[in-house]
Amino acid sequence: MIPSYLQQIPHGKEKGTFLALDLGGTNLRVCEVELLGNSKWTMRQQKYKVSEALKVGEVTDLFDYIAGSVDHFLTEIGTNATEDEKLHLGFTFSFPVLQTALAAGTLINWTKGFECKNAIGKDVVQLLQDALDRKHIHVRCSALVNDTCGTLMAAAYERGDCLCGGIFGTGTNGAYVEDLAKLTKMGYSKEDLEQSKAQGLDFMVVNTEWGAFDNERKVLPFTVFDSRVDRISINPRKQAYEKMISGMYLGEVTRNVLLHLVDSQVLFSGYSTKALNAHYGLDTALMSALEAPFVPNSTESADPVKHIRSVLTSSLGFDDARVTDADCIAAARVSEIVGTRGARFAACAVAATVRQTGGDQADADGREMVFGLDGSLVEFYPRFEQRVRDALVELLGEDVTKRVKIVLAKDGSGVGAALCAQAAQAMETKGASTGK
């Protein structure tokens, strides 16, 4: 788990104009966010594609491209800030970073298909600032943010309260608010803690990096399919939990199970297709399509077999004549089982956060625990929240689960980064250690 150095949670009254940069989702995004001070904001944004070559090339090429995108944004789209103001930028960098200050941190390892050279161990803020300075762009990177921390900040700004920000998208991770005294790895003395308390800084947001949970493979019930996915992934033996939960991998696990059933001669009369044989050939979005008929009252539920058959033939290249009705139901059931397993693991992380923060204790009676969640699974995967909630009841009981409020916190990596840049300014004023 990684301290974020974030010790300022928004309440909705924050104001100002900030730049936000978001790397680690589907695209690179540059945004200008205006915080209006009434829990609302406006945003102008531009997406930039990060090519596969940039994802695995020299890290300086990646950062030059990022700086070039900021430059393009400022010249083409413009900014509302005045000429002489140096723009403050919040940088959402959604990879494991050993943060050493609010605006400093070294990359631990890449995830989600990135593998740039000469990046591990480097300070990513420095890499960005150097690239911006090389292009004489008048912007200062004042906060380095994980997308989960950004999500937490965005949800708190909108609602006035949020305990945890979580992402269930391409990757998975969560951040939550912890008592400073419990962050023993920070090595604070009793005096430090007392002083922090007096300044109202006795808590910190923790980036859990829960996607790396059980990389040692001591706890989770791994299957042979998980091992296959891991072995040929770009980062074997890393992100063990993420590989059972997140959007980048669920389709791949499903594909491996389906292939096993094909090879066992119990599915599709023992025949596969080019798409099903291809590494990452079954996109997780396809699982949503396969499972659409299981959503009560959906249009697809009228004739499940017809719908699943059309998905199998149009997206996976199956020959209609080879697919039986039983194949259709079995394929969709495999998808549902893999997805439900993922959602149940996701619930474990939510339940662990509730327990760690004392939300399951008798004296927490009545306390609502807000989880601001974002990511493609939360947004698009059928019945994701329901599956998580069903598992939460098993883990925490009905009463505690009722107090867990799951809200969709969209775009934490944009608005959240702006809020972190704002928090950096505010914390500097309070005298907190932001590292600058």
Q: Of the ranges 132-140, 144-152, 277-285, 323-331, which one interacts with ligand BGC (CB under 6 A)?
A: 144-152
Position among 123, 147, 178, 411 found at the interface with ligand BGC (CB under 6 A):
147
- Residue nearer to ligand BGC on the CB measure, 176 or 318: 176
Position among 145, 164, 167, 201 found at the interface with ligand BGC (CB under 6 A):
167
114 binds ligand BGC (CB under 6 A): no
- Residue nearer to ligand BGC on the CB measure, 137 or 162: 162
254 binds ligand BGC (CB under 6 A): no
Using DSSP bridges, classify how beta strands 203-207 and 172-179 pair: parallel, antiparallel or unpaired.
Answer: antiparallel
**Residue whose token pair is 């390892």:** 109
Kindly calculate the radius of gyration of the chain based on its CA atoms and give it in whole angstroms. Answer: 23
Position among 64, 158, 209, 336 found at the interface with ligand BGC (CB under 6 A):
209
Catalytic residue check, 288:
no
Position among 242, 283, 300, 327 found at the interface with ligand BGC (CB under 6 A):
242
146 binds ligand BGC (CB under 6 A): yes
Structure-token pair, residue 86: 């140096």
- Residue nearer to ligand BGC on the CB measure, 111 or 353: 111
111 binds ligand BGC (CB under 6 A): yes
112 binds ligand BGC (CB under 6 A): yes
**Residue whose token pair is 């400093």:** 104
DSSP reduced 3-state for 297:
coil
- Residue nearer to ligand BGC on the CB measure, 90 or 293: 90
Minimum distance of ligand BGC from residue 191's CB (angstroms) = 33
How crowded is residue 281: how many other Cβ atoms within 10 Å of its Cβ?
Answer: 19
- Residue nearer to ligand BGC on the CB measure, 168 or 268: 168
Minimum distance of ligand BGC from residue 4's CB (angstroms) = 11
Number of H helices, E strands in the chain: 16, 13
148 binds ligand BGC (CB under 6 A): yes
Catalytic residue check, 217:
no
Contacts of 279-283 with C-beta under 8 Å, sequence gap 24+, read 279/232, 279/252, 280/251, 280/252, 280/255, 281/255, 281/316, 282/251, 282/252, 282/254, 282/255, 282/258, 282/316, 283/251
Residue of 147, 230, 327, 411 marked catalytic: 147
Residue of 29, 341, 344, 387 marked catalytic: 29
Reference 347, options 207, 219, 112, 174; nearest CA is: 174
Phi, psi of 107 (to 5 degrees): -70, 130
For residue 111, how many C-alpha atoms fall within 13 Å in the half-sphere facing its CB? 30
Reference 372, options 171, 204, 95, 174; nearest CA is: 174
| Count of residues that bind ligand BGC according to CB under 6 A | 18
171 binds ligand BGC (CB under 6 A): yes
Degrees, nearest 5: CA angle 174-175-180? 150
Catalytic residue check, 403:
no
Catalytic residues: 29, 94, 147
Chain positions contacting ligand BGC, by CB under 6 A: 24, 94-96, 111-112, 146-148, 167, 169, 171-173, 209, 211, 239, 242
